[in-house]
């Protein structure tokens, strides 16, 4: 009996399973769909969804379906790693966007994934799959390659030893190639991810350092792959990342001359 009780799901774990049923592909779900995706009985789902809706974590639409509620958004805004970083980063992201009119992104590492904490885009920018709050594997994105290249050796080996998901025929899915790529990123100070997530895009990314010179984030620009020379974007991306690092107190960045404003194209 004790073993069964220890293995039984807690109320908290059931609530988390309900919230995890929602995704970018499933932003709105009926009770039966929540029950199916969470693996919970319909009666349990009905009770817990009611509690989550009363608290504001879920919102009920006129058709009876449910969406993630604003209370979750409010809590997400309290995340210190994302909120403070976004506030400091916005002027530098804005400068880079104004200079290029393409997608500009800021991401942090969470385990084996990159979480995008901010993105600036416009009508002229190429469509991308990433979004604020979204996740992608470290090995297949510019931001992710930078973060993985500067992660601790244990984390790098964990990623290198695991299956590497392939999104396109250009995705780095070989551990030896990825190891060489990470070494290049550390040596060069930037990463280029060429058509690894989508064949229509490439990204250029650079590391962001904090006041201990640890790499805590990465900044990138995503552009059309068929008409862009990625090396032409490297100076602007590195300048924006260096400016943000200076603002965060990085001794290494502060030792360099102040970053000049990016020229508007």
Q: Are 202 and 195 in contact (CB under 8 A)?
A: yes
Stretch 76-89: mean pLDDT: 74
Query: In Å, how far are 16, 119, 126 from 122, measured between CA atoms?
Result: 34, 10, 9
What's the confidence (pLDDT) of residue 183?
A: 97
Query: Tokens 């009780």 label which residue?
Result: 5
Q: What pLDDT is stored for residue 5 in this prediction?
A: 38
What are the structure tokens assigned to 95, written together? 């400068």
85, 43, 121, 126: which is closest to 208 by C-alpha? Answer: 85
What's the CA angle centered on 70, arms 137 and 128, to 5 degrees? 35
Q: Is residue 105 classed as helix, strand or coil in its secondary structure?
A: strand
Q: Residue 254's pLDDT is what?
A: 83
Is pLDDT of 83 > 80?
A: no
Say what the pLDDT of residue 144 is.
97
Q: What was the pLDDT predicted at 124?
A: 82
Show the DSSP H helices in 162-229 as ranges.
175-188
Domains and CATH numbers, the chain: 11-75 (1.10.10.10), 79-254 (3.30.450.40)
Q: What is the pLDDT of residue 261?
A: 44
Q: For 31-54, how does the pLDDT look when each residue is reduced to its tens digit (9 = 90+)?
A: 999 999 999 999 999 999 999 999
Name the residue among 106, 104, 105, 102 with its Cα closest to residue 123.
102
pLDDT-above-70 percentage for the chain: 90
Q: Is the pLDDT of residue 96 over 70?
A: yes
To which residue do tokens 């990123």 refer? Answer: 185
Higher pLDDT, 53 or 77: 53
Sign of CA dihedral 74, 97, 195, 173: negative
Cβ neighbour number for residue 124 with a 10 Å cutoff: 8
Does residue 4 surpass a pLDDT of 60?
A: no
Which token pair is 181?
Answer: 């790529």
Taking 80 as the threshold, does the pLDDT of residue 80 lie above it? no
**How long is the chain?**
265
Question: What does the pLDDT average to over 112-131?
Answer: 88
Name the pLDDT band for 210 (thresholds 50, 70, 90): very high
**pTM as predicted:** 0.73
Q: 82: pLDDT confidence band, cut at 50, 70 and 90?
A: low
pLDDT above 90 coverage of the chain, percent: 70
Res 77: pLDDT: 64
Q: Are 182 and 148 in contact (CB under 8 A)?
A: yes
pLDDT per position as a tens digit, 145-204: 999 999 999 999 999 999 999 999 999 999 999 999 999 999 999 999 999 999 999 999
Q: Does residue 24 surpass a pLDDT of 80?
A: no
208-232: average pLDDT:
93
With H, G, I as helix, E, B as strand and everything else as coil, classify residue 42: helix
| Residue 265 pLDDT level (bands cut at 50, 70, 90) | very low
């Amino acid at each position: 009996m004790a073993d069964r009780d220890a293995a039984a799901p807690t109320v908290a774990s059931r609530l988390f399973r309900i919230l995890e049923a929602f995704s970018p592909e499933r932003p709105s779900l009926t009770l039966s769909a929540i029950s199916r995706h969470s693996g919970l009985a319909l009666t349990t789902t009905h009770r817990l969804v009611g509690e989550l809706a009363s608290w504001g974590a879920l919102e009920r639409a006129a058709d009876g379906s449910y969406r993630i509620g604003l209370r979750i958004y409010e809590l997400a805004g309290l995340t210190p790693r994302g909120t403070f970083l976004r506030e400091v980063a916005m002027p530098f992201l804005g400068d880079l966007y104004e200079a290029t009119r393409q997608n500009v992104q800021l991401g942090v590492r969470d385990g084996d994934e990159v979480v995008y904490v901010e993105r600036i885009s416009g009508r002229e920018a190429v469509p991308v799959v990433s979004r604020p709050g979204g996740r992608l594997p470290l090995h297949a994105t510019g931001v992710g390659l930078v973060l993985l290249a500067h992660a601790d050796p244990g984390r790098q080996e964990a990623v290198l030893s695991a299956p590497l998901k392939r999104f396109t025929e250009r995705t780095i899915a070989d551990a030896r190639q990825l190891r060489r790529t990470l070494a290049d990123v550390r040596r060069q100070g930037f990463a280029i991810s060429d058509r690894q997530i989508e064949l229509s895009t490439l990204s250029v990314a650079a590391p962001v350092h904090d006041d201990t010179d640890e790499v805590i984030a990465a900044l990138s620009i995503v552009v059309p792959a068929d008409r862009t020379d990625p090396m032409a974007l490297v100076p602007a991306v590195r300048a924006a990342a260096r400016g943000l690092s200076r603002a965060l107190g990085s001794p290494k960045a502060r030792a360099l001359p102040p970053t000049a404003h990016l020229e508007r194209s």
